[in-house]
Structures are given as C-alpha cells and as structure tokens.
Chains A and B, each alone.
Chain A
C-alpha cells in the first residue's frame, strides 16, 4: 500500500511556544492511522498543521503533492475533510445547510442532493432534524453532523479529531461502527486522533504515540495494543 499522506519533520508553534517537534508519520491509501497521546501532547495541533490552520514547518505530502505552503481552503479542495475539535457546527444554520456547506468546494449539481440523502440514510437522526438549527442538536447528533459534513466533500482523506469526545459510550460505539462502514464502502483514508486509545487501536491499522510533540512509538495497531507500556499508561489494564 502506498501512502496518501506523508509527513516529515513536522513542526508547529503557537506564538513562541513550540508544540510539535519534528513528527514523521504516514497514512496509507485506504487505511486508518491513529494518533494517540495524553492531553496536550500535540494531537489536535497535528491535524491543524495538516490543514494549515496553525503555523507549521516541515514536509507534508498529500497524494504525492506538497501541501505545507497551501492555504486551508486549497487543501480542502484537494479532498482533505476535517471533523474538527468541538465539531465545528454552524450553530445558527440548519442541519441541511450545514451539510450543503460540506460540499461547498464541489461543483453545484444534482449529486450533492443525492449525497445529502445518502448522509440521511446513514444518520436517520439528522433527517429528522434537517430544518432545525444545528446548534440545538445534542452532542452526539452534532458529531454525526460533523462526520456527515466531512463526507459531503467526498474526501480522499478524513481527519477526525476525537470523535468520541463528550459522548456517552453507546453513542461512541455507534459512531465508530458508522465510521467503519463508511471506510468499507468508500475506501476513504482516515487519520484519527483519540484519547480513548483502546477504541482507536481496535479501529486503526497503524498507530503513532505522541508525547510532548514527538513520536515515541509507532507500528501496527494490533502490535501496539499488546505492548506492555502502552497498556499500562494508555489502556489501563
């Protein structure tokens, strides 16, 4: 498998505070890569750096193309959809308008409404709430909306920032089942950031462990899951 995303020596900083100190990782075409780590390790910053919403240095290749100097809007146009931290809901817009926004970079056409219907079939709850203000949706529904909005781009790569954040275990489980289904159906590659390491390691093929802005361990997800150290500090059993 070739890599759809290759990152070499990625550094990022907020003001004069360095958050990432030279990360190397990749996401395989059609694969799922997980970034694990504690709070403040730099996981969210990594996703921001890929999308260019934070100042970054290093080399980022997407489908062979260098993107580290591109503005966010152009990166999105290449087919990278982010499900951002805090879900990025357009609170005063309706659910359906939120979905339309996901496809904003695609040419206007009938297939957009077809895709919206497809999202509704994946997430029937969203259909019930289609003309409701998105800000009034529950946390789980907003997470579904964020995923659906990302799917509307027909992305080649999805960046997921803590899809389980603040959700009840049942809903988290449901969302991960849907992500697995989406991956099976559309073959989209995913880079997922999670604090819930056991969940992420079951879902991912590859995993990287970040501590204070550096990668301390990498490998196949199932091997990492067996690692004693990881087990003790991240999985808690």
Chain B
C-alpha cells in the first residue's frame, strides 16, 4: 500500500509537467485547431536557452521569466512567419509544417549545443522534501510552480478582456471579427503563450530528465495524451488529463513488471485510447453536434 501511495504521489509530481505541456497543447489547439507536433521541440530549445543563460552565470530566478519572454516572442514570430502564410492550406499541410519545425529545432539544438546530455540544477535544491518523504524538493517545487501558473492562466482566461477575446476568436472566429476582436493577433498570442508555457515545462523538468535534444519527445506525447484524455476543448480537462497520465504511467511502470519501464509510454497511450473509446470527446470535453 505504501508503495502504491508513493507511486501515486510521484506520478502526481510528473503529472504536473504533463499538465503544463497538455495545457500548452490545448492552447494552440484552441487557436488553430491542430495539434502542434513541434511544441515539444520548441520547449526543448527554450530549455537550452535557459541552460545557456545559467551557464553564463545568470541567476536562476532571472532566467525563468527571461526565457519565457523570449519563448513568447519566438512563438509569436513562428506564427507570423511560418504558419500565417499557409492559413488556408489543408490540415495535412499544416501537419507537415509542424514536422518541419520539429526537424529544424531538433537539429539546430544538436548543432549548437551538441547531443551529449547536460545536467540542469534545480532551483529548489536536491534531496527529499523532508526525511523519508515520497517526493523530492524539486518535485514539490515543480508542483507548486505548475499550480500557480495554471491558476494564473485560468484567471487570465476567465477574467481579462484579452483572455475573453482569445476564447471568442477560437470558438467563432468570424463572429469574433464582427465584434472587433483582432482574430489573427489572438492566434499569434496563443502561439506565444503556448511556447512560453512549454518553456516553463521544459525548465521545470530538465533537472529531472537531463537536457538533450530529444528530451521533450516523450513528454510531449504524454502532454498530447493528457490533452486528448481531458478533452481538447477544455483547458481544465487538459490539466486533469496530464495528472492522470502521470499517475497511470507511474503505476503501470511499477505494477506491470514484464513490461516495465520500456513500455510505460505505450501502456499509458493505450489506456487513453481505451478511455476515448468510451468517451470519445475526452473526460471533460464537449462533443459539438454537427448539423447536416
């Protein structure tokens, strides 16, 4: 039983990261109605920027907001330069653009910083939270930061005019234009915010998984899984989905011995597909009925 609780709590801690990633996925999905495969690589690149700044001696707590700001600008720029010109192209062409971005970021990071793994220090310190605690200081800190960011985001979307405009632009772009919302600017903002959140997730998880160009791939997959599990139309669902995925992943890795660590990801994904078969729009998602 102790093992069980321990694993659930540990899963909760990694789940926070997945929740962050899932949220970033949902935000871009809301803005453009596609899943961005390059999201993880963008986050990885941001994390390298953070590592570089730290290596140059910048203090950790200055690096955090700075990297998020740079990532925000970067996301906005990608939307303007790469995505906007093909706005009206078919979905699959967008998917190919994401694949291209994936290749670019992955290869550029490897070229600039090399493929050897780099340790990233934790701002919260090493070791267990208290002697005998199931989670470490870093995991606890990570969880707290994630929660704070998530509540800020929730408040942003719920209570600010920009947040409302972004939601409106995503629900009904044409109607949003007719009330004077600058829809294309909102899409750009969505990209910017999503890449800033991705950067945060990357910086938080880097001390746990070590920094290397491929570090975000599986995290992004868990993020996707969380987002889809919770329902792509619901930011809250995405967060919940992220936590569930984290816990399921940990429990599967612990209790299904033959399969062990290697197949953790597959097991998690298949569980999610199983859930989707029962609830095709995700746990908190809304299925919009289509008229013929």
Give A residues with C-beta under 8 Å from B. Answer: 51, 53, 72-73, 76-77, 81-82, 84, 88-93, 97, 100-102, 104-105, 108, 135, 149, 153
Distance of A73 Cα from B179 Cα, bound (Å): 7
Closest chain A CB from B144 CB (angstroms): 30
In the complex, what residue of chain B is closest to A76 when comparing beta carbons? Answer: B180
Distance of A88 Cα from B161 Cα, bound (Å): 19
Assess whether B174 is in contact with A101, with CB atoms less than 8 Å apart: no
Asked if B177 CB lies within 8 Å of chain A CBs, one says: yes
Contact partners of A93 in chain B: CB under 8 A: 164, 167-168, 171
Contact partners of B161 in chain A: CB under 8 A: 100, 104, 108
Which of A88, A108, A149 has most chain B Cβ within 10 Å? A88
Contact partners of B172 in chain A: CB under 8 A: 88-91
Q: B257-292 vs A: 1/0 string, CB under 8 Å?
A: 000000000000000000000000000001010000
Contact partners of B286 in chain A: CB under 8 A: 92
Interface of B is mostly: helix
Asked if B139 CB lies within 8 Å of chain A CBs, one says: no
Assess whether A104 is in contact with B175, with CB atoms less than 8 Å apart: no
Closest chain A CB from B286 CB (angstroms): 7
Asked if B182 CB lies within 8 Å of chain A CBs, one says: yes
Assess whether B178 is in contact with A105, with CB atoms less than 8 Å apart: no
Q: List 26 A-B contacts (CB under 8 A).
A: A51-B178, A72-B177, A72-B180, A73-B177, A76-B178, A76-B179, A77-B180, A81-B178, A81-B179, A82-B178, A88-B174, A90-B167, A90-B171, A91-B288, A92-B286, A93-B167, A93-B171, A97-B164, A101-B165, A101-B168, A101-B176, A102-B179, A104-B161, A104-B164, A105-B179, A108-B161
Q: A92-B286, A104-B180 are in contact. List 5 more A-B contacts (CB 8 A).
A: A73-B177, A73-B181, A90-B176, A101-B164, A101-B168
In the complex, what residue of chain B is closest to A52 when comparing beta carbons? Answer: B177
Distance of A88 Cα from B171 Cα, bound (Å): 10
Asked if B233 CB lies within 8 Å of chain A CBs, one says: yes
